[in-house]
């Protein structure tokens, strides 16, 4: 990549979330099983490259951690809240369905100085979460949503730790919640709101409706509004900001197997056309570094290599790699084996262009959202639903 960027007008001012100023208005979306400390480190390195060349670093959020598991200090939840010394601000996403439990988890994080920013998950569409009233199902219950946001803000504010909210458009096309939820979050003291412009029933299928982000920006006036959905390139991010007026973007699946997207995003928001177009040698070097970071994260070479397996197809998208090599890479069990397989490839292959662009990760298909019984009959919890919600965090893994 040419590190010389021409002087240009930035597309957006720095993103301010509470006391934090993020020069490049880009957030790494929390993704389960993906945005652990190892992956955040890799993305941050590329984001910092963009900063050195005229851009800025972004905000890198942990994968979702359940409040209950955190309070129980499970081994996995404590691993997931670890940060590298260079991570600033330290950002953690919490999942919770009970205001008291969320408040206690936030209190733990801030009093023990484990986080500088906390994001609340109201966007997860996974059935095991929504069928207990959590994630994208929760904003339908107005008082519960407000209670959780208010409780988190109350505990975090004395420590100057901003709380943000990430949500979806609604449960399905007939049960839309985002405008009301965005305004409620603003009123309860959230520092920013982020909207994935799909409903829970869409999961990751179809196209994100960016017009919803524009409407949310019009409705929420005093805090930043961030847009999420279908950002596969820096150009997509620029288009979203121009079309919706949002204050920044949240990038998820677009950076899978492509952490250098954060260099591109920093450049784009600095007004530069410079982009990273790595050949296969650079891509496999990045993949190898990612694997090494995972081994360090787990403290176990086999676990780290098992984790890198799911990233390999994303890294190699569009590149000429035979099916035999791809299959063997998907079974790699050591760094030495990874090195041997990489060395067997033709690493002189250049960036494949359009073949490497576009959607990454599974899109799935629309579905009926799993919900607690009679969930949609009222915007308030009844007694039976309160029992379901009270047990919800116990049934979601500590990750």
Place of tokens 């177009």: 277
> Is 305 designated active site?
no
Place of tokens 């998950």: 121
> Any residues with CB less than 8 A from the CB of 311 and at least 6 apart, and which?
256, 257, 287, 290
Annotated active-site residue in 43, 124, 246, 255:
124
- CA of residue 388 relative to chain centroid, distance: 27
Expressed in angstroms, the distance from the first to the final Cα of the chain is 36
Helix residue spans in the chain (DSSP H): 37-52, 67-71, 75-80, 99-111, 127-130, 142-156, 178-187, 210-219, 234-244, 261-269, 280-298, 301-315, 323-329, 335-343, 383-392
> Any residues with CB less than 8 A from the CB of 57 and at least 6 apart, and which?
22, 23, 24, 44, 47, 48, 50, 51, 266
Active site residues: 124
């Amino acid at each position: 990549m040419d590190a010389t960027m021409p002087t240009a007008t930035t597309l957006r001012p720095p993103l301010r979330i509470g006391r934090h100023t993020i020069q490049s208005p880009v957030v790494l979306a929390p993704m389960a099983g993906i945005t652990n400390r190892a992956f955040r480190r890799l993305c941050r390195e590329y984001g910092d490259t963009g900063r050195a060349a005229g851009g800025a670093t972004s905000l890198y959020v942990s994968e979702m951690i359940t409040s209950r598991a955190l309070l129980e200090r499970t081994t996995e939840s404590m691993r997931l809240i670890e940060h590298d010394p260079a991570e600033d601000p330290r950002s953690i996403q919490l999942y919770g369905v009970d205001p008291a439990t969320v408040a206690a988890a936030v209190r733990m994080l801030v009093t023990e100085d484990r986080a500088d920013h906390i994001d609340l998950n109201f966007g997860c569409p996974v059935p095991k979460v929504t069928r207990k009233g959590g994630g994208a199902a929760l904003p339908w219950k107005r008082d519960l949503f407000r209670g959780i946001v208010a409780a988190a803000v109350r505990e975090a504010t004395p420590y100057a730790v901003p709380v943000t909210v990430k949500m979806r458009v609604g449960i399905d096309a007939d049960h839309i919640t985002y405008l009301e939820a965005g305004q409620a979050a603003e009123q309860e003291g959230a520092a920013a709101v982020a909207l994935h412009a799909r409903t829970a029933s869409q999961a990751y299928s179809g196209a994100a409706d960016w017009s919803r982000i524009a409407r949310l920006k019009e409705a929420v006036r005093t805090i930043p509004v961030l847009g999420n959905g279908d950002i596969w390139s820096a150009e997509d991010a620029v288009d979203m900001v121009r079309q919706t007026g949002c204050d920044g973007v949240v990038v998820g699946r677009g950076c899978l197997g492509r952490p250098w997207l954060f260099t591109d995003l920093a450049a784009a928001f600095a007004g530069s056309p410079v982009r990273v177009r790595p050949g296969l040698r650079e891509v496999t070097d990045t993949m190898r570094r990612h694997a090494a970071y995972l081994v360090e994260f787990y403290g176990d070479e086999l676990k780290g290599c098992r984790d890198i397996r799911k990233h390999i197809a994303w890294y190699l998208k569009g590149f000429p790699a035979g099916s035999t090599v791809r299959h063997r890479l998907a079974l790699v069990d050591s760094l030495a084996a990874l090195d041997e397989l990489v060395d067997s490839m033709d690493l002189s292959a250049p960036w494949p262009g359009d073949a490497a662009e576009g959607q990454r990760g599974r899109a799935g298909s629309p579905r009926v959202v799993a919900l607690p019984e009679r969930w949609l009959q009222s915007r308030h919890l009844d007694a039976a639903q309160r029992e379901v919600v009270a047990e919800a965090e116990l049934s979601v893994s500590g990750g």
